[in-house]
Structure 1
Amino acid sequence: MNATTTTTPVRRGNEAELVAKEELPPLQHFIDGAFTTRTDAAGTDIVNPSSGTVICCVLEGTAADVDLAVAAARQAQTDWGATTPAERSDLLLNIASRIEENADILARLESLNTGKPLATSRDDVSGSVDTFRFMAGAGRALTSLAAGDYATDHTSVILREPAGVVGVITPWNYPLLMAAWKIAPILAAGNALVLKPSEQTPLTTLKLAEIIADLLPAGVLNIVTGLGPVVGERLASNPDIDLVALTGSVGSGKAVAATAGNTVKRVHLELGGKAPVVVFPDANLSAVAESLRTAAFYNSGQECGAACRVLVHESVADQLTQLIVEQVSTFIIGDPTAGDDVEIGPLVSEAHYHRVAGYLERAQKEGITAAIGGAPLEGPGFFIAPTVLTNVPAGAEASQNEIFGPVVTIETFSDEDEAIKRSNETPYGLAASVWTRDSARSIDLPRKLHFGTVWVNSHLVLANEVPWGGFKGSGYGRDLSIYALEDFSRTKHVMINHAR
């Protein structure tokens, strides 16, 4: 797959200076308010994706470890759930402040473990702080149906109660931020939880537990590291878990939902996406290309809402392609220590690197061309060149499946009906965007796109005040906003007969 324009080579720094050994968190489970010590347990190597070298080895959990953590959470939840919203709010605000005080080490750990540019990791830390602060306030302002007599001589009162004990499985692409997205509303609603971070990227989650341990009642937050088929499966099957929440792949979501069904527990799934970017001839094409520079390639494209599938009207396709390639050609690629101006890091693991490279190889065999990029980059680490694929036919694998890397596909359409049909033809339903100057179209078209978030003339702009979640294969349940608090609580109706 020969590209017409090449990207800059990988810039290298001194990774040994990123995190000192003594700054690593305890590499153990966090259960009932303390880190556990087990010398007989297996371990998982944590790999630096910028170099392929081993950082450390983290304890590999068992089903028995999960059961211990669940028992601690169950014991702690009764008292925690009985606290007032104001008391829980105070604790969340204290957590936010503690994260902010430790922002530097958290960002450096995140970059070491994931390969992210430091600027990206710093954004994740600040986003985590804002998540806890938002949920601290939102947990004090829930609303519901007013108490009243909806049946003669009977007063109805609606109570919102904690769901109970929540099992959480977080992904490797935003380890700290996705932990915050779950921990903050779960605690704000009065629940206790047991969290399994990705076995590839557990370091900032463990560091978070270390820096906030003294703030939390023992057992309210528990972390068990380990593999999905063991730890994740037990979180989904344990009968003392009331709700299991996962952010991850569609395959993982299906497995969790199927297992959870055996105990009829609630499930909250935020899964993959394949976001269409629908560009009409009247759109500001320069603005589209500039937006995609971030929205498609942020975090090396390892983003479920990434603007990875461009559907552009055939009359402006060549012009937009040229503008996107110009934007992509200016990326600075490197490891986290290679300078604050580095924008693109490696993929998270060797396995994922080969997965993305496989998509590019198969696209080449299908006759799809790369206007830029199109292949792995030379040297150590798991770097893939930022890629723009053109001449992508309808239904092609690259345009239908979530590649989850720095890859954008460009397809064309001839009229609005075709654009709508093609946008909705993927099994995903997480996010999309529409680009047009037509005010009527900007209001009407998003209603016809089956995605949980639809941006108009922007993409990948998030705020804690508004919900995030998908339809179809992208799962169900909502993160962020008051809707997350509703997802992690339960509604009870109390009716009082006051006839005299």
Structure 2
Amino acid sequence: MTTETALFTVRRADSQLSPSLPPFGQFIGGAFVPSSSSETVDIVNPATEEVLTKVPAGTVEDVDAAVAAAVAAKDAWAATTPRDRAAVLLKIADIIEANRELFETLEAANTGKPAAVAEDDISSAVDTFRFSAGAARAYSTLGADDYAENHTSVIHREPVGVVGVITPWNYPLLMAAWKIAPVLGAGNTLVLKPSEQTPLTTLKLAELITGEVPAGVLNIVTGPGRVVGNRLSEHPDVDLVAITGSVSSGQKVAAAASGSVKRVHLELGGKAPVVVFADADLEAAAKGVRSAGFWNGGQECGAACRVLVHESVAEKFTELLVREISEITVGTPGAGDAEIGSMISKAHYERVLAALDDVRKDGLTIAVGGRAIEGPGYFIEPTVVTNVPAGAAITSNEIFGPVVSVETFSTDEEAVTRANETIYGLAASVWTRDSARSLTVPRKLDFGTVWVNSHLVIATEMPWGGFKGSGYGRDLSSYALDDFSRTKHVMYNRG
């Protein structure tokens, strides 16, 4: 059964954004240089479908040149003190802060994000660099001592060397910051491949920090993943490769990296369950799903996209949720009160619409939304799918759009079992007023982050990463610097 209503229109800004574009070229060895190929990639504003600019479609030769620059710079950078590296990270944070409006405008134009999301992205990027600056100076390791008779052991934390980084399109500058800050803080050099769809703020960052970071320490190569990302992953002089992306992308990176037995850091997809028990504050839970399920248009790996609600309160909760979602405002960047913007690209827009067609074919109820919104731009209505049976495709497939599903459960044990029945293990939330349940249920959920009575609240001091198909390795927190370091044991014979 489908009961769809046309509640949504796109609020459009009075004037188009005029972003400050970065230079054209690959950023290698501290400068923008021509690509070895004349091929380019169009960069599109998904809210208007207009081409903003072009960037080089990078080649294997471009990657090799960038890696060579990183290799040449790695010994000098590794030899700097944590204090000196922290000073560079703090300077980068200051530069982003000083150019906040420029970055927000450019990010919004490249991604279709509303102002609130773009502002949060830039603020979080600043905080990531500032936290990593402090964490770089505060490693904690096992104390030097005699653990064997007449032998003194010392633990050294060393940089791994050259790190290859692949970032996604949903949070371009923020995900770059999540990698660049701890990678540099731990004393590594890096080569970064931004998404070919959203490279502009990463390139602009390189332009603005050129004088602050030694040449070759940070390199950026734009281009398709099948070329640039694959070469980074397999390159024998890259010591670790880190990706934030889809499960399939992570699998390809890990497979390519296996040839040189390099370390891999994977932050992949998610299908976050929201478990609402009968005693929960239902209004708070519905508002929480409105915020966390539709933040960034649902293009978020930790999005609250799969609700499991106790059958005794399912009708009431669904009524509250549908009311909340019906009030969401959709708009272009610059339309001040917009909560969600466009999908990132035409291809992704079509994927989400195809997923909604599958929902209809499965006979599920679309309580609100479910359609494309007319006009220019890749906009889709905020959508709630209800009366979802156990095992339905929507409970396990990551749609990565403004779509939330609602299913019911009978017992605590069933809720936990059903929540865990997914290949993903990134994030989940539990909604309850029962203090005992709030302690026991999160321990049974197979997810790297579990919130209680909230969802998608991120703290830079706390680790972010998943289990199972969501990958391994941790972003944020001091654990990120651990991931981009190696441990060496030196033992001195005093006998």
TM-score normalized with structure 1 length = 0.98
Pair 1:158-2:155 in alignment? yes
8 Å Cα contact 1:15-1:336 kept in structure 2: no
Alignment of structure 1 residues 340-419 onto 2, 5 Å: 340-419=336-415
8 Å Cα contact 2:37-2:59 kept in structure 1: no
Q: Secondary structure at the match of 2:211?
A: helix
Deviation at 1:6, TM superposition (A): 3.9
Given residue 446 of structure 2, which amino acid in structure 1 is its aligned partner?
H
How far apart in 2 are the matches of 1:15 and 1:297? Answer: 25
Tell me the residue number matched to 1:19: 18
Q: Secondary structure at the match of 1:218?
A: coil
Q: Secondary structure at the match of 1:303?
A: coil
Given residue 108 of structure 1, which amino acid in structure 2 is its aligned partner?
T
How far apart in 2 are the matches of 1:370 and 1:69? Answer: 49
8 Å Cα contact 1:170-1:248 kept in structure 2: yes
User: Of 329, 332, 337, which aligns to 1:332?
Assistant: 329
8 Å Cα contact 1:271-1:304 kept in structure 2: yes
Given residue 452 of structure 1, which amino acid in structure 2 is its aligned partner?
G
User: Of 140, 143, 146, which aligns to 1:143?
Assistant: 140
How far apart in 1 are the matches of 2:349 and 2:445? Answer: 31
User: Of 73, 78, 83, which aligns to 2:75?
Assistant: 78
How far apart in 1 are the matches of 2:172 and 2:15? Answer: 20
8 Å Cα contact 2:2-2:364 kept in structure 1: no
Tell me the residue number matched to 1:299: 296
Tell me the residue number matched to 1:437: 433
Tell me the residue number matched to 1:195: 192
Tell me the residue number matched to 1:475: 471
Alignment of structure 1 residues 258-277 onto 2, 5 Å: 258-277=255-274
Identity of paired residues, percent?
64
User: Of 166, 174, 179, which aligns to 1:177?
Assistant: 174
8 Å Cα contact 1:98-1:211 kept in structure 2: yes
8 Å Cα contact 2:36-2:59 kept in structure 1: no
How far apart in 2 are the matches of 1:288 and 1:384? Answer: 23
Tell me the residue number matched to 1:60: 57
User: Of 286, 289, 305, which aligns to 1:289?
Assistant: 286
Tell me the residue number matched to 1:126: 123
CA separation of 1:355/1:114 partners in 2, compared to 1, >3 Å: closer, same or farther? same
User: Of 91, 94, 106, which aligns to 2:91?
Assistant: 94
Given residue 403 of structure 2, which amino acid in structure 1 is its aligned partner?
V
8 Å Cα contact 2:36-2:61 kept in structure 1: no
CA separation of 1:428/1:40 partners in 2, compared to 1, >3 Å: closer, same or farther? closer
CA separation of 1:151/1:65 partners in 2, compared to 1, >3 Å: closer, same or farther? same
Deviation at 1:3, TM superposition (A): 3.6
Q: Secondary structure at the match of 2:210?
A: helix
8 Å Cα contact 1:331-1:343 kept in structure 2: yes
Pair 1:9-2:9 in alignment? yes
Tell me the residue number matched to 2:226: 229
Given residue 245 of structure 2, which amino acid in structure 1 is its aligned partner?
G
Given residue 467 of structure 1, which amino acid in structure 2 is its aligned partner?
P
Given residue 420 of structure 1, which amino acid in structure 2 is its aligned partner?
V
Q: Secondary structure at the match of 1:411?
A: strand
How far apart in 2 are the matches of 1:222 and 1:107? Answer: 22
Given residue 219 of structure 1, which amino acid in structure 2 is its aligned partner?
G
Gap regions ≥5 residues in structure 1: none
How far apart in 2 are the matches of 1:53 and 1:19? Answer: 12
Deviation at 1:166, TM superposition (A): 0.1
Deviation at 1:15, TM superposition (A): 5.0
8 Å Cα contact 2:26-2:35 kept in structure 1: no
Deviation at 1:38, TM superposition (A): 4.2
How far apart in 2 are the matches of 1:410 and 1:290? Answer: 14
Given residue 390 of structure 2, which amino acid in structure 1 is its aligned partner?
A
8 Å Cα contact 1:310-1:411 kept in structure 2: yes
Given residue 407 of structure 1, which amino acid in structure 2 is its aligned partner?
V
TM-score normalized with structure 2 length = 0.99
Alignment of structure 1 residues 103-114 onto 2, 5 Å: 103-114=100-111
1:141-189 C-alpha deviation (Å, 9 max, x unpaired)? 1101111111111100000000100000000000000000000000000
Q: Secondary structure at the match of 1:76?
A: helix
Given residue 457 of structure 2, which amino acid in structure 1 is its aligned partner?
V
The count of aligned residue pairs is: 495
Deviation at 1:40, TM superposition (A): 4.6
Tell me the residue number matched to 2:26: 29
CA separation of 1:68/1:439 partners in 2, compared to 1, >3 Å: closer, same or farther? same
Q: Considering only aligned residues, what root-mean-square deviation do their CA atoms show, in Å? A: 1.0
Tell me the residue number matched to 2:481: 485
8 Å Cα contact 2:35-2:58 kept in structure 1: no
CA separation of 1:38/1:486 partners in 2, compared to 1, >3 Å: closer, same or farther? closer
Deviation at 1:27, TM superposition (A): 2.5
Given residue 19 of structure 1, which amino acid in structure 2 is its aligned partner?
S
How far apart in 2 are the matches of 1:62 and 1:85? Answer: 34
